[in-house]
Each structure stands twice: as structure tokens, then as C-alpha cells.
Chain A
């Protein structure tokens, strides 16, 4: 009825397409090869079950096995970030948490996108700031949107606070890292719930911790030392903004992927406020810049 086996296989649709999610490896669990007639039957059965149930069991669909560590394709597994955001800084202050980030999306060394909002409110009680790959950040926002919506649908008066969101993000990031398919972001999660201020970080490896002042990326090296020496308990809004701006300026001067367009966001018991983007004045009147010929003959 089908003619030769090659034509039989041609009649069945391609299973190696990334869009179908059905794979059949030509060997069984015990490592012994599966004969071609059996393969034809298994493929057909897999296709039928995939159509009926929306999924096919693992003895017919070997896709799951292909994600075990022995099957990882090392060439494509550790992805590279393309459009990236640079540092995010967060500090606790008297009324809540204050976060700052610039609005740049770099494409390698090019400052390609200059109006990327990298701090977003999550639910009623938290703010999420991200550095790293922007597409992964956008995907995380979708996951969190679904989480918050699901929580709101219970309509039971409870709402997800920063601790819960932080834990959720940790699990998501760690799980992706275990599958060698990370979300390439460093996240800063700040929030206030029932008077309790919370500020935490999750990295792309799933490492997470909580602190009074945090920064990602270059901020770890340039901003954290400033915060360690100048942060104090219960600063008011003005002092906190001034401290953040000091860190942002240092990052602007010294980090090549930062741009002079920042967004500061605060989260308090009343809710989240994301201030409009603005630029800071920079200072270039150093005496060392005025007369460079003092150190190098012949230059100007």
C-alpha cells in the first residue's frame, strides 16, 4: 500500500522541525537501535497522540531526553545576549525603596536604543529593574503579568508582595540555568508591603540575596563602594535621590554602555511611582584636562 519504506517516511511530516516539538531518536532506552518499521509505527503513533492530546508520551516523543545534560548541544546551549541594558541601582530609604537605571539598550558597543524602560512596577507592592538581555526581561514581565493576574483572580484580598515575587523569580532563573538555557538578566526586586521594606537581587545563575543597597553589572564595582560608605538608615527622599544620582554620574563617566538618560522609580506603601526620564549635567572642567601638554610635549 505504501510502496517502499523511504516513500512511507516521506509521507509523514518532518519531525525535526523546531515548531512541532516531536522528536524520535532511532534508539530505545536500552541503547539498542529501533528498526525502521518500528520507527514508522512510533512516528505515526506520536503524531496521532500529539494531535489528540496535544502531547505525546516520552517513549514516542524523545524531545524531553534531548534536554538532559547528555544531550545538550553545547554550541547553541549557552546563548549570547544581544540587546543589553547596563546597571540598575537600588537602595532602601525611609518611606520605601528607590531604584535607578539608565534607559539605554546597547547592541554590542553600539548604543542602539535610547528609550528602553528597564524598571517596571509589579503588582501593587514591587518594582523590578533588570540589566542584561532586554528580550529576556520582556519575557519575565510576561511571566510576572500572568502570575499577578492569576493572584488577582482569586479576589481574596491578598496580593503578592516583594518577598513572594523575589522567590518566584529565583526559582524561574535557577530552573532555566539548570536547563542550560538562562534568562540573561540580573534583576533587582524592591518593594514595600505592610510597612516592611524589601530589596533583593537575582542573577542569571539563580543566585539571590537581600540587602539594604544593591546594584547590578558595573554598578557592583562602581556604585556599591559609594553606597557602602554613604548610605545610612532612614534617609529621606531628597537625600536618597542625591545619593543615587551620585552613583549614576560615576556610572555615566566610567561605564561605556551607559547613556545620559535616567529613570528613577520609587515604591512606598502608597504605591509605585516611575518618574519621567531625565538627564544629568556632567562636569569636564578638571585642571588636568585644561593643559594636557604639561604632561605630554607636543599635544593639545
Chain B
């Protein structure tokens, strides 16, 4: 389950569902405590804070409460100084700037895929297609992933959110075209219908 509350106008906090375990507070409380810092900074600076600052706010929470929280987070956004940026804040509170990042339970299945499929300098459409393909591959193999895919695109034009229902995703290995009922399969063609066994 993707949990994507917006921190500010220009960055998103993505907490891949199963990597977020907190004792005594829910993911929403964490977001709320950070989300209160972001608007305050906006008032102080007169402009939205940079992605780096947002990522560091989250890192501070994660690092300083290492014993009590366990959250792996990816902060992505756009600001006018450095453009689009992605900061990964895994368990423990390390902060690393990366060209792309994956996380969560289904991400184990995506390391190889991203190594092969990600390229520098992709366009917006290519990048969204890649993300969609990656998440749908994870859904295919990870028990804890499924349902729908929601994507967020953040650039100089703002934030665009897209929704892809599960049945619109491509099919992978050993997955079959969904049907309404067996009756449709039977009425469609007589090639795959088995004969009753005689002996």
C-alpha cells in the first residue's frame, strides 16, 4: 500500500507500506509532525523549502528516534535550485541522494529490474511508464502488494497525481486474462474444453 501524503507544495513523502513500522504512532502521526515543520519554514523563508531540507527533517525524526521508530522513506520533489531530486532515508536515518530509489517489501523483486531498465535522462512519460511497470512487477510477486497503483509526478509545473486500477496493469508470467465467468470461456471456444474422463 502506498502512503503518499504531501508535505509541501513541491515534495512528497513516500513511505512504502511494509517498511513503516512505528511503535505507538501511526505513519500519519509521523507525517503530521513533519508536516507541521514544513509550513512553518515556508512562512519563515517566504518560499517553499527545498527538497533537501524536507528530507533532512524526516531524517532527523528517523535518526533521533532510532530505537522507537522504524521507517524507511523516500522523499522526492522539485525545487528551483536543483530541480528534481530524490533522497532516500532508510532505516537508521541515513540520508542519500539518488537518481532513483526503491523501497518497501516488494522492492526486493525490483532491484534487478531497475538495474537493467533505468536510464539517465528519461522523459516524463518514459519515467512514469517505468515506475508503473516496476510497481506492477512487484505486485505480481509480492504478497503484500496489490490493488491499485497511484503515481505522483512533481516538476516545475506542479504536482500531478494519476490513478491506475489493478485490472489496467499488464499481465506477467503465468497470469491469465481476467474473465467474467467460466461460462464465457466455454461459450467462446470449444478448443480448450476437456472431455469427460472415461476410465
Q: A76-B67, A79-B67 are in contact. Are A135 and B94 (CB under 8 A)?
A: yes
Question: Which of A73, A110, A138 contacts B94, CB < 8 Å?
Answer: A138
List B75-92 residues whose CB lies under 8 Å from chain A.
88, 90-92
B13 within 8 Å of A by Cβ?
A: no
Q: Which residue of B lies closest to A107 (CB)?
A: B90
Question: Can you name 28 A-B residue pairings with CB atoms under 8 Å?
Answer: A18-B65, A73-B67, A76-B67, A76-B68, A79-B66, A79-B67, A81-B92, A82-B90, A82-B92, A82-B94, A83-B90, A83-B91, A83-B92, A107-B90, A107-B91, A112-B90, A112-B111, A113-B96, A113-B98, A115-B98, A134-B92, A134-B94, A135-B59, A135-B63, A135-B92, A135-B93, A138-B94, A138-B95
List A contacts of B92 (CB < 8 A).
Answer: 81-83, 133-135
A110–B110 Cα gap in the complex (Å)?
12
B33 within 8 Å of A by Cβ?
A: yes
List A contacts of B94 (CB < 8 A).
Answer: 82-83, 105, 133-135, 138
A116 within 8 Å of B by Cβ?
A: yes
**Chain B interface (Cβ within 8 Å of chain A)?**
33, 59, 63, 65-68, 88, 90-96, 98, 108, 111
User: How close is A16's CB to chain B, nearest CB, in angstroms?
Assistant: 9
List B contacts of A112 (CB < 8 A).
Answer: 90, 111
Task: Indicate the size class of the contact surface on chain A.
Answer: 20 to 34
Given A18-B68, A82-B92, 9 other A-B residues pairs in contact with their CB atoms under 8 A: A73-B67, A76-B67, A81-B92, A105-B94, A112-B111, A115-B98, A135-B59, A135-B63, A135-B93
List A199-238 residues whose CB lies under 8 Å from chain B.
none
A135–B91 Cα gap in the complex (Å)?
9
| CB-based contact B33/A110 at 8 Å | no
List A contacts of B65 (CB < 8 A).
Answer: 18
A19 within 8 Å of B by Cβ?
A: yes
A45–B88 Cα gap in the complex (Å)?
41
Q: Which residue of A lies closest to B93 (CB)?
A: A135
| CB-based contact A139/B68 at 8 Å | no
User: How close is B114's CB to chain A, nearest CB, in angstroms?
Assistant: 12
| CB-based contact A139/B91 at 8 Å | no
List B contacts of A113 (CB < 8 A).
Answer: 88, 96, 98
Q: Which residue of B lies closest to A116 (CB)?
A: B96
User: How close is A58's CB to chain B, nearest CB, in angstroms?
Assistant: 22
List A contacts of B33 (CB < 8 A).
Answer: 19
User: How close is B12's CB to chain A, nearest CB, in angstroms?
Assistant: 21
List A contacts of B90 (CB < 8 A).
Answer: 82-83, 107, 112
A96-113: contact bitstring with B at CB < 8 Å (1 yes, 0 no)? 000000000101001011
Q: Which residue of A lies closest to B23 (CB)?
A: A76
A18–B93 Cα gap in the complex (Å)?
16
| CB-based contact B111/A110 at 8 Å | yes
A108-127: contact bitstring with B at CB < 8 Å (1 yes, 0 no)? 00101101100000000000
List B contacts of A18 (CB < 8 A).
Answer: 65, 68
List A contacts of B66 (CB < 8 A).
Answer: 79, 135
A81–B146 Cα gap in the complex (Å)?
31
